[in-house]
Chains A and B, each alone.
Chain A
Amino acid sequence: MTDAGVFPDAPNQEPVRPKPDSMPRVALVGPPNCGKTALFNALTGSRQKVANYAGVTVERKEGAATAPNGERLLIADLPGTYSLRARSPDEEVTRDVVLGRLTDAHPPDVVVCVVDATNLRLGLRLAQELKAVGRPLVVALNMHDIAMRQGIDIDIARLSVELGAPIVPTVAVRRGGLDALLTEVARLATRAPAASTWHVPNVTELRAEHKEADRIFKAAVTPPKRPDTWTGKLDGVLLHPVAGSAILLLVLFLMFQAVFTWATPAMELIDGGFSALAEGIKAVLGDGLLSSLLADGVVAGVGSILVFLPQILTLFLFIILLEDFGYMARAAFLMDKLMGGAGLHGRAFIPLLSSFACAIPGVMAARVIDSKRDRLATIMVAPLMTCSARIPVYTLVIAAFVPRTSVWGMNLQGLVMFSLYAAGVVSALLVAFVMRRLIWRGGSEPFLMELPAYKRPDAKNVILNLWLRAKVFLTRAGTIILSMMVLIWFLSTFPAPPPGAPGPAIDYSLAGIIGHWMEPVLLPIGFNWQIGVALVPGMAAREVAVGALGTVYAVAGDDVGTLGNVLASHWSLATALSLLAWYVFAPQCASTLAVVKRETNSWRWPVIMFVYMITLAYLASFLTYTVARHFGG
């Protein structure tokens, strides 16, 4: 039987505006990485991030779906948990929603226990716990197609009898089984909940629960006649301490090579487009304030950031493919010893990986860590991981100062980019090591991780995730960055120089005055006043510094081609390297500091973070500049 035969059609899932008070509430609960968010997206038409590793969802998300009978349902996607005995903050969210302990939310009318059909044993105990809670329960047997392909035979009728709940096979990524699931949910939504018999189990009860789950598993599931050896063989290589680490390094290395080779044609196209647009504006409007604002402020500023979109998307294409394939959890396994040596909990891998996109989701993802001191240590180093906002700064400076040559067959620019990412990771480990010795002494708790099954990356999910990344970048460029570029243009243009002023006009502007005022502090690290001007708006978002440099040099009339060419003609190599070193550590992202305050519920930690990062940034820049000057840079 084909999958299409099992799941004939998916319901019409247009996103519906939730009406919280009138709709039955449905909670999606299940172990991590069983496809809850994929199911939530399929049911509600939402576009929440999904990936093939545990701990992606750390917050409650809500959306609406329509059952085949027309009834509208309010669906909540909850963080994954193996049990209602919550240990970390994300698991507490799930426990509190299911048990109706939240004051700001009604308890669910129906609980959907989502279980991975290829790893059913793990979900059975949770399903038993949910049954004990007393709320109407439906079990979604997700990834049923993969289980069938693997030859796992699940007796659904028997399982339903054993669990005392309806079982619906689903394939969330292909919207399979959604109609049947929603029909069951709508049917149960009118039932009154039974009295809860759930309580925190003691050791004896826990053992009994495990035994019961084992009994149900054996009664309802027949394992494949020919067990999968492919996963074991692949893991034997990818998790090997030497071969696995070498492959991890090779994968990361290839990723950064691709960032500089694949993205170049698209970048040149975008750059050419913005240059032509600026020239067009000046040709149509002539010389004047409005022309300068649009060409030198908006186009030069925003354009100099947008040009990096192809590189950001290339990098994320690799990350998303590796996540979907199931490799990222293996990378966590390989890194565990190293992270443990630095005093970081193994689960810190998830927030640190998220921080490659942006430190904000990274800091929030630290909720997956049980212990408070482990969580704080992770939060404090998460911003050291190279976020996508640093990519424009890195690639601009690398393209301008590092020759496009090959060294032993490797692209030198890609090699430098790889080194900067490595510097971010190494510095995060070092800082964590020092913090664990100075502030949070004591060992970390042991790390147990479930390795997800290898999966062929789903093209739709890859495209959707890439689009989400592009949307975030374009939205920032079109809102905050655009408005800041207008302000930087204003600061760089006004006041006008006095009549007969000998220097360039920008020297007399507010930006020039502020920049010259900062110069004495920045001179020891090799920064000129233009960099100083760029660092201030970079507090809002790191990539704004690139746009600010574009605007400042455009207003100054430095028209020698691309921004990279302008920088190459104004800066020494030592200055360029110093700026790169600065951005490895620079704490310039106000939003990250705000999220750290929210997550730690104290101003103490964002202040400590800001101080230690700016100190490290200054010291690293000073050292880099001094050494580079010594060698004639």
Chain B
Amino acid sequence: MKKILKIVWLLFISFFLISCIQTQAIENIGIINAAGVDGAESETESNLIETTMAVFQFTTEAEENTKTVSGKGTTIKGAVKDAEMSSIYKLVPGKIKLMLFGEVIAEKGFLPFMDTLARDPRVPDLMYIGVAHPNAKEILMIEEENISTDVGQFLHGIIEHHSNDHNIPRKTLQDFLHVYYDIGHDNILPIFEIVNDVPKHSKNALFQGDKVVGELSQEEITLVNMVERTVKDQLLELSIPMGPFAESTEYKENGQQVDEFEVGLNVIKSTSKTKLKDINNLEFTTDIKIQLRLVEQTAEVAFKSQKSIKLLEKEVKKNLENHLDKLLKKTQELEADPFGYGRHYRKTRQGKDLTNDEWREKFPDINVKYNLDIILVRHGAID
């Protein structure tokens, strides 16, 4: 009985502590769904930033639950505070799904913002990040009628459904910071822009550290993914010269002769392995094993014999190797290493730790030999 009295007494006292806990009742907060950060474009207010947020707020009267608010300040926190002035509820960051950074900030380097976000325990580390062209406000302010859902959901969906597993361009805050602090490895983030009044993931930004230095196309992203990690269920579009397949063609296209034909290939699975062959001459080899499925072709080439299949495999291999070499050249010119060759170098090298600056100097000089192993698994039924 004494024990029970003690517990009752304890409970009674603890009732006085109730008001110490801050409530966040779902109907009394504005839940930020997507946020964007833009830098000021004019020189006079260069340290000013503007945040735009798509916010869920629930009221009985309103038909739409999403509202977009924006505010200005010198820090993100300050800008959010400013934005709260036009919102009836307190804005909370716990369910941000996506954060966009305007191009101005991306070119200046956005690590300061990232770092504060990562340190704030209320901000989810698993939110996706992207770059907005030309600025985030324009994308987040898009009319809901154009996309028939709220913008946060929309952009999140684009990233989620167009990159399998955790391949680029699906980059969370955590992923970004991981790659950023990984010496000899550079980030790629998706770029969103408005095309025909609808936000579109058109291309990708290649980073050097936390600054954008160049752009990569979707096809190039696929190649980066294939070098860096395992890729599954991904479309490849290639142009194949007609010449070798002339005899396999079933009939000529209205008498018109074409030099090239397009093939759509589905990467069933591709795995890669990179090795540093010669540390002094910076020679790398990358073995990629790709299983392919033919899903589309523009010429009526009949793949009836093993010979023609082998021929296609050979052409695909040639084509891909060509593309990979070009991509490497391009990144070497930009001095950004999205493949992470620097990691292999760092792993193998003895002695002093590698620094990012050191690798930036060395990266343009590396040689990579690509050994592609192409297997055309299926070429018949197309779904």
Real binding pair: no
Which residues of B does A touch, CB under 8 Å?
none
Which residues of A does B touch, CB under 8 Å?
none
